[in-house]
Chain A
Amino acid sequence: MCSLALFPAPLACGQTTLCESNNELLSGTATDHRLKQSTHINYSVVLYFPRESLKLHCRTESSSKAAFLDHSETLWMRSAAAWRDGGLTGLLNEITNSNTEVPKWLSVSSGFTLALLRWFSSFHGSLFPHLTMSSENMLAEFSQVLNWSDCVVRAFAWHPHADKFAVALLDDSIKIYNPKSATTPTLKHRLQRSVAAVQWKPMCASALAVACQNCLLVWHVDPCSLSTRPSSGCAQVLSNPGHSPVTSIAWSPSGSLLVSASPMDTAMMVWDVASESCVPLQRVGGGGVTFLSWSPDSSHVLASTPSALFRVWETRTWTCERWPCVKGRCQSGCWSPDGSRLLFTVQGEMVIYVLTFGDTPGPQAAAVVADLSETTFNTADGDIIVGGEIHSLSWDPTGERLAVLLEGDPQAADRPAIIAVFKTRTNPIFELLPCTECFVRFSVSSGFVQGEPGAEPRMMQFHPNFQHGALLTVCWSSGRITHVPFYFLGAGVPHFGLSGSPSLPRPQERPADFANQSLFTELIS
């Protein structure tokens, strides 16, 4: 088991992590930043979205009602409008409120029904407390982005094959950056509000799925188009009653299906995007689905719920295994590149668990692989406490680096949110043994990734096919997006388990100057 005590101390104030080379994380100030990365010019580009530059919505759609004069309509009209806007509760509310116009028995009975409904929903809410939250709060609570509601960059996604990425911003727009083209298309749509997640469709150049507050959008952005504002006709709207807000989406790695999850809906939707049809996979326990992750070999899907329970779906016949947790809900999870191992974290615990899947029946319990309990480091600026609950996990496509976003404590200055990076090796020798202790060997820790002073990491993602190791993209609280390359030589091309789908095209030859570096990596790990 690995713990934070083995980590080198965090950097002093003013230093930022630049890259990993020769098996250590290099740091520097902003000035020599450019100098060191001049070899990989593409990734030294730092995107910066200052909060002031974004034009934010100051009002919601329904609040514009107040700007107009009150117009007295007939009861029928108002009831019809209430039914359209608020459904049954809206209608009952309207009837109860206009008790001067309706017969007394009607207003009394509708008030009684309303009270009964409210009592029932509060009872339901006491079973699943998350149901009482507003949809914004719910998104913030279950998002993989730390402190989502206050974050300038709300979602980020690398394209799985091409060298481009999409960024969702606080003002509900999405920008697409491609280093090879000068145009950065901006996607805006009437329904694109409170973006919780974006993901590119695999095996496709253009489709981008967006999880919004009320629906799912699938944009088709023509990569050859010079338009900077694709029309909203390029977006497919996928919605299902009761399936909102959508907090998580996942494309199948073969690009054929899209699954979406909402904490309000106990069913997980499997979409056939082209025909805009969906199959709900309903399991009542847990009270909703918050986070989805499809294994890279497309054989399993992790679906966590707001309760202390998560499921692992098997995608051939769509049956699921239930995994109850002891303490809290499953906060985050990630799959090994061959899809045989699942790392996950549980809210309220400071450890990372592993589950192994394979031909044999799965393990009966998850094993702890890393302990991230709080550790105090002495730095030049004073003591810093690192550790605590884990917000999200990200494993690079070669399976050699694991980035862990630690929540920290926003109130305490000496407990910052920080990204810890582990080196990992999935050891083939241990695969045959029944011992669950060490399926994944966490070797000597790599270190912490830090940004500019005052900036906290909010979200991170590994580049899906970086040629010289791994590239971690971090979105900071300041609105900056930086890329931290980890230069290393992989121990082996990832081998695929069940489906046998080959890996993404990986370079056969490597630059000569990195050749000796591999020795260090191999020796130390």
Chain B
Amino acid sequence: MFSTEQSCWFIRKVVCWRAVASIAWAVLLLLPITAVFVILSRFSLLHPIQTFSECLSFLTCASAIFSLILMCGVIIMVGFLNLEYYTVIPTIACSKIALLGQLLHPRQFVNSLAHCIMGIIVAWCCAVTLGGRYETIGYPCTQGDGTDSSPQMCLNEYHLILLLAGAFVGFSHSLLAVISNINYVSFHTVQQYKYLRFKGSLPFVVKCSAAQALYSVRNYIVVYFFLGYIPKAWICKTLNLHLNSSVHPLDSIAGLLDLSLLYHQWISASFLLFTWNITLLLFRIFVTEVYSFPVQSSFTEDAHQCLPKVLTDKQPMILKFLALQDVALLSQHSPSRRCEVFSLSQPGGHPHNWNAISKECLSLLADLTQRLVAYHDTVATNGRAKSLSTGSERKTSSETSFTSATEDLMSPRPTLLLRTPASVFARFVVGTPHSPLTAPFTPDLDSPFASPALRRLTAPLDQCSPWFGTVQSPHIMRRAPKLWSTSTDSQVNGSPPASPASVPSPKQEPFKPSRLALFLRNRKEQLPEASSQALFADSQAHIWALEGLSYLVQASFSEDQFGVIQTTLPSILGCMLILQEAVDRHFKLPHASSKPVRSASGMGDSTYKTLRFALRATLKTAIYRITTTFGNHLNAVQMSAEHRKRLQQFLEYKE
């Protein structure tokens, strides 16, 4: 799963150790959590002292220690899955179909299976801990009536219902994780120490674990009521157990309305979710911790770890993000490191550090601008996708005008196309196999062909996908991958198909929409706000680039001794103003400026939903930061008349 050839020094030396530290803390925290769970599960109001003595004696017995070791194994597994699946760029499903695609993805299937198994293990530990009627799966009973009753093993349904509850909660947790983007790791604007962050978010984790457990148990009871007989019969058959007819079956209304059973299910589910969520929380806190890169190093062997080099790296996305965060922080808080940025190289006198940083930040911003322009050209004013022909026509015309305007800003890059990190087949459609938007070892849900093993898994799924047999038109077949994405037709025309196996030759016959295709197409356009979210999915990087640039420019007013900033000031201003224009245009679209519904439930981080607003505010603040610092000196900066007019608005505080 963990491909070693891709891992760079940062993954090996920093991210892995951070993950290990977070898992170690989670394992250490397991003991107090288990103790609390034991006390809560066995607490009886009438005999408080007896409860405590019972709990103490239980915690020291062998079965408790064994289940604790099992739990540690589960925590380590969860931590490993977190490390394997985390992403700094959220995967946003742009339509219901795409979401369904994510849920049915083979990789997701493996993930769900792992969660199910872990859920069963945790539930078994819970059953051991709860003791009493839950402890074993079989018990000796005398079956039958009359005299020929022989001792045999009967199924303990209480044990089974707890195990299945664990499996169900684990499964629903993994599904909810996809829906609420639980693997997305967001960065905080407020840099607190790890302990304080942990302490601050602990009550929230407790609350949301308990709530999620409540909902899961409710759903589980409904499922068990209707379908409970299937696993019961299966277990009986495989383990050669018997059903005790004298005991009331639990998949009935009377059996399920046992308050103590409900409480035990709920508290076990809460315990399970809490341990997992704590592991996730610790992982998030550790992995997003600020990393301070050296701006320059006196030893050449360390040069690849320096900020200018690290920023230009595309591969580990987390590295790029942390580097950009470091740029934003150093530009605000540390004069000594800013001084290194403004310094000149010793032989030659070139501002290499500043050039590398500014070039990377500017190319990021230009990239976003181009993405926005392309998006704007492909959607009609009502926010829906335009029809094929008009979209491509408009695109070419405006694209050329745009590129001519920003030619000087752009470094030579591969053709920048509208990329939607959200789409399941995005990488595939765009045709850039190493899209910088996708992290290298991060679980790319969007790339089903990541490993050969998965490819094998994928093939049958595609075969039995709903439209495989029915839709015969090659055009639809060609469109099929695209149905999962927001990327538009015009892009596909321009880019060569990456895998001919599943993207057949271009259209050979005139387009004849079948009913299913129309249906899918309508479903595809369902969530217009999501496409806007997907467009800004990685905007945290742009926000840092804007902050870093603007703070550095502001500081250069008094700190830049050699005037290294001055040469790039026109391009910085130009880039920001063009982006401002593009962002303004984007927010005129009907769905872009609508605020997402605030849903604070669950562990999923919904920061990505508001990234576009944050970007808009940061952009404006960044331009104002430069204009307030330089004031009328900016009139001496070379720029086009249009930009000057725009800048004058900022100088007069009229934006």
> Does B333 lie at the interface of the complex (its beta carbon under 8 Å from any beta carbon of A)?
yes
Pairwise interchain contact A273-B617, C-beta atoms closer than 8 A: yes
Cα distance A500–B332 in the bound complex, in angstroms: 9
Pairwise interchain contact A224-B610, C-beta atoms closer than 8 A: no
Pairwise interchain contact A274-B610, C-beta atoms closer than 8 A: yes
Interface segment among B214-222, B228-236, B567-575, B619-627: the answer is: B619-627
Cα distance A205–B621 in the bound complex, in angstroms: 9
> Does B189 lie at the interface of the complex (its beta carbon under 8 Å from any beta carbon of A)?
yes
Cα distance A165–B114 in the bound complex, in angstroms: 60
Cα distance A308–B654 in the bound complex, in angstroms: 44
Pairwise interchain contact A205-B624, C-beta atoms closer than 8 A: yes
> Does B88 lie at the interface of the complex (its beta carbon under 8 Å from any beta carbon of A)?
no
The 0/1 profile, CB within 8 Å of B marked 1, for residues 483-525 of chain A is 0000000000000101111101100000000000000000000
> Does A277 lie at the interface of the complex (its beta carbon under 8 Å from any beta carbon of B)?
yes
Main secondary structure of the interface of B (DSSP, over half): helix
Q: What residues of chain B lie closer than 8 Å to A203, measured between beta carbons?
A: 620-621, 624-625, 628
B204 nearest in chain A by CB position: A280
Pairwise interchain contact A223-B610, C-beta atoms closer than 8 A: no
Interface segment among B30-38, B190-198, B275-283: the answer is: B190-198
Pairwise interchain contact B555-A317, C-beta atoms closer than 8 A: no
> Does A272 lie at the interface of the complex (its beta carbon under 8 Å from any beta carbon of B)?
yes
Pairwise interchain contact B559-A282, C-beta atoms closer than 8 A: no
B329 nearest in chain A by CB position: A316
> What's the minimum C-beta distance from A180 to chain B, rounded to whole angstroms?
9
Main secondary structure of the interface of A (DSSP, over half): loop
Interface residues of B in 597-655 (CB under 8 A from A): 598, 607, 610-611, 613-614, 616-618, 620-621, 624-625, 628-629, 631-632, 652-655
B613 nearest in chain A by CB position: A274
> Does B472 lie at the interface of the complex (its beta carbon under 8 Å from any beta carbon of A)?
no
Cα distance A224–B652 in the bound complex, in angstroms: 11
The 0/1 profile, CB within 8 Å of A marked 1, for residues 539-578 of chain B is 0000000010001001101110000000000000000000
Chain B interface size, as a band, is: 35 or more
B655 nearest in chain A by CB position: A205
> Does B585 lie at the interface of the complex (its beta carbon under 8 Å from any beta carbon of A)?
no
> Does A228 lie at the interface of the complex (its beta carbon under 8 Å from any beta carbon of B)?
no
> What's the minimum C-beta distance from B551 to chain A, rounded to whole angstroms?
8
Q: What residues of chain B lie closer than 8 Å to A206, measured between beta carbons?
A: 655
Pairwise interchain contact A277-B554, C-beta atoms closer than 8 A: no
Partner of B617, one of A162, A274, A279, A316: A274
Interface segment among A7-15, A142-150, A249-257: the answer is: A249-257
Q: What residues of chain A lie closer than 8 Å to B547, measured between beta carbons?
A: 256
> What's the minimum C-beta distance from A73 to chain B, rounded to whole angstroms?
28
Given A203-B628, A272-B189, A275-B614 in contact, is the A502-B554 Cβ separation under 8 Å? yes
Pairwise interchain contact B191-A316, C-beta atoms closer than 8 A: yes
Given A223-B654, A282-B200, A502-B557 in contact, is the A276-B598 Cβ separation under 8 Å? yes
> Does A195 lie at the interface of the complex (its beta carbon under 8 Å from any beta carbon of B)?
no
Partner of B618, one of A274, A502, A504, A505: A274
A257 nearest in chain B by CB position: B189
Q: What residues of chain B lie closer than 8 Å to A205, measured between beta carbons?
A: 624, 653-655
Pairwise interchain contact A318-B653, C-beta atoms closer than 8 A: no
B191 nearest in chain A by CB position: A317
The 0/1 profile, CB within 8 Å of B marked 1, for residues 251-279 of chain A is 00011110000000000001011111101
Given A203-B624, A205-B653, A505-B628 in contact, is the A318-B613 Cβ separation under 8 Å? no
Cα distance A281–B611 in the bound complex, in angstroms: 22
Pairwise interchain contact B629-A502, C-beta atoms closer than 8 A: yes
Pairwise interchain contact B554-A501, C-beta atoms closer than 8 A: yes
Given A203-B621, A502-B554, A502-B558 in contact, is the A318-B190 Cβ separation under 8 Å? yes
> Does B188 lie at the interface of the complex (its beta carbon under 8 Å from any beta carbon of A)?
yes
> Does B335 lie at the interface of the complex (its beta carbon under 8 Å from any beta carbon of A)?
yes
Q: What residues of chain A lie closer than 8 Å to B598, measured between beta carbons?
A: 276
Total of A-B residue pairs, C-beta within 8 Å: 101
> Does A161 lie at the interface of the complex (its beta carbon under 8 Å from any beta carbon of B)?
yes
A223 nearest in chain B by CB position: B654
Cα distance A282–B628 in the bound complex, in angstroms: 34
- Most chain B CB within 10 A, of A203, A205, A498, is at A203
> Does A122 lie at the interface of the complex (its beta carbon under 8 Å from any beta carbon of B)?
no
Interface residues of A in 423-462 (CB under 8 A from B): none
Cα distance A504–B196 in the bound complex, in angstroms: 35
> Does A319 lie at the interface of the complex (its beta carbon under 8 Å from any beta carbon of B)?
yes
Interface residues of A in 281-324 (CB under 8 A from B): 281-282, 316-319
> Does A365 lie at the interface of the complex (its beta carbon under 8 Å from any beta carbon of B)?
no
Partner of B620, one of A204, A282, A504: A204
Given A256-B618, A318-B191 in contact, is the A275-B628 Cβ separation under 8 Å? no
Q: What residues of chain B lie closer than 8 Å to A272, measured between beta carbons?
A: 189, 614
A270 nearest in chain B by CB position: B190
Cα distance A255–B624 in the bound complex, in angstroms: 10
Q: What residues of chain B lie closer than 8 Å to A282, measured between beta carbons?
A: 200
Cα distance A499–B193 in the bound complex, in angstroms: 21
Partner of B333, one of A161, A275, A499, A502: A499
Q: What residues of chain B lie closer than 8 Å to A316, measured between beta carbons?
A: 191, 333
Cα distance A502–B556 in the bound complex, in angstroms: 9
> What's the minimum C-beta distance from A193 to chain B, rounded to whole angstroms?
22
Cα distance A220–B553 in the bound complex, in angstroms: 27
Pairwise interchain contact A279-B200, C-beta atoms closer than 8 A: yes
Cα distance A224–B649 in the bound complex, in angstroms: 10
Pairwise interchain contact A500-B335, C-beta atoms closer than 8 A: yes
> What's the minimum C-beta distance from B339 to chain A, rounded to whole angstroms?
10
> What's the minimum C-beta distance from B67 to chain A, rounded to whole angstroms?
35
Cα distance A274–B620 in the bound complex, in angstroms: 12
> What's the minimum C-beta distance from B586 to chain A, rounded to whole angstroms?
15
> What's the minimum C-beta distance from B545 to chain A, rounded to whole angstroms?
15
> What's the minimum C-beta distance from A338 to chain B, rounded to whole angstroms?
13
Cα distance A499–B188 in the bound complex, in angstroms: 21
> What's the minimum C-beta distance from A196 to chain B, rounded to whole angstroms?
24
The 0/1 profile, CB within 8 Å of B marked 1, for residues 239-254 of chain A is 0000000000000001
Cα distance A319–B193 in the bound complex, in angstroms: 8
Given A272-B189, A502-B554 in contact, is the A223-B653 Cβ separation under 8 Å? yes
Q: What residues of chain A lie closer than 8 Å to B555, measured between beta carbons?
A: 500-501
Given A205-B624, A500-B558 in contact, is the A275-B196 Cβ separation under 8 Å? no
Pairwise interchain contact A277-B610, C-beta atoms closer than 8 A: yes
- Most chain A CB within 10 A, of B190, B196, B555, B610, is at B190
Cα distance A281–B196 in the bound complex, in angstroms: 9
Cα distance A282–B192 in the bound complex, in angstroms: 12
Cα distance A206–B598 in the bound complex, in angstroms: 25
Q: What residues of chain B lie closer than 8 Å to A255, measured between beta carbons?
A: 621, 624-625
> What's the minimum C-beta distance from B505 to chain A, rounded to whole angstroms?
45
Cα distance A389–B551 in the bound complex, in angstroms: 41
Cα distance A203–B622 in the bound complex, in angstroms: 8
> What's the minimum C-beta distance from B72 to chain A, rounded to whole angstroms?
31
> What's the minimum C-beta distance from A278 to chain B, rounded to whole angstroms?
9
Cα distance A257–B417 in the bound complex, in angstroms: 34
Q: What residues of chain A lie closer than 8 Å to B655, measured between beta carbons?
A: 205-206, 223
Q: What residues of chain B lie closer than 8 Å to A254, measured between beta carbons?
A: 332, 551, 621, 625
Q: What residues of chain B lie closer than 8 Å to A317, measured between beta carbons?
A: 191-193
Pairwise interchain contact A504-B189, C-beta atoms closer than 8 A: no
A465 nearest in chain B by CB position: B628
> What's the minimum C-beta distance from B631 to chain A, rounded to whole angstroms?
4
The 0/1 profile, CB within 8 Å of A marked 1, for residues 58-92 of chain B is 00000000000000000000000000000000000
> What's the minimum C-beta distance from B417 to chain A, rounded to whole angstroms?
28
A256-B618, A500-B555 known; 11 new pairs, CB 8 Å cut-off, are A161-B628, A205-B654, A223-B654, A224-B654, A257-B189, A274-B613, A274-B618, A276-B598, A281-B190, A318-B191, A318-B196
List 16 interface pairs A-B (beta carbons < 8 Å), by A numbering.
A203-B624, A205-B655, A206-B655, A254-B551, A257-B190, A270-B190, A272-B189, A274-B610, A274-B613, A274-B618, A275-B614, A499-B333, A499-B335, A500-B555, A501-B555, A505-B631
- Residue numbers of A with Cβ under 8 A of B are 159, 161-162, 203-206, 223-224, 254-257, 270, 272-277, 279-282, 316-319, 496, 498-502, 504-505
- A-B residue pairs, 3 tightest by C-beta: A275-B610, A274-B617, A162-B653
